[in-house]
Amino acid sequence: MVTLNINGKNVQLDATAEMPLLWALRDVANLTGTKYSCGMALCGACTIHLDGQPVHSCVTPISASAGKKITTVEAMAESKAVQKPGAISTSCNAATVNPAR
């Protein structure tokens, strides 16, 4: 049994210290917003924040989160930091690439 601070709440989970955070969050805590893809710290689909720093939860054991605050996409979605898609500007000032060159 481990105690984690997830999205501002202390939660007890039936998991071992060696278990990757990804599986603790998805399979034990039922927070499925964190996704699995490569499983090798390459793609970022499993990114969570530990004390505000992004980490790949697929390769981060539960033991690395001891005493730290875990923030998942579920908490970010509830905060004002994430805007609704319609609120994001669709204009683009990027230079175009000439495929003929």
DSSP 8-state assignment for residue 16: -
Smallest distance from the beta carbon of 18 to ligand FES, in angstroms?
Answer: 17
Cβ nearer to ligand FES, comparing 23 with 68 = 23
> For residues 58 and 36, is the Cβ–Cβ distance under 8 A?
yes
Cβ nearer to ligand FES, comparing 12 with 33 = 33
**Which residues are at the interface with ligand FES (CB under 6 A)?**
36-39, 41-46, 56, 58
Smallest distance from the beta carbon of 54 to ligand FES, in angstroms?
Answer: 11
Cβ-based burial of 36 (10 A; exposed 0-12, middle 13-18, buried ≥19): middle
Smallest distance from the beta carbon of 78 to ligand FES, in angstroms?
Answer: 23
**Is the alpha carbon torsion for 89, 92, 94, 96 positive or negative?**
positive
Distance CA 9, CA 4 (A): 8
Cβ nearer to ligand FES, comparing 35 with 68 = 35
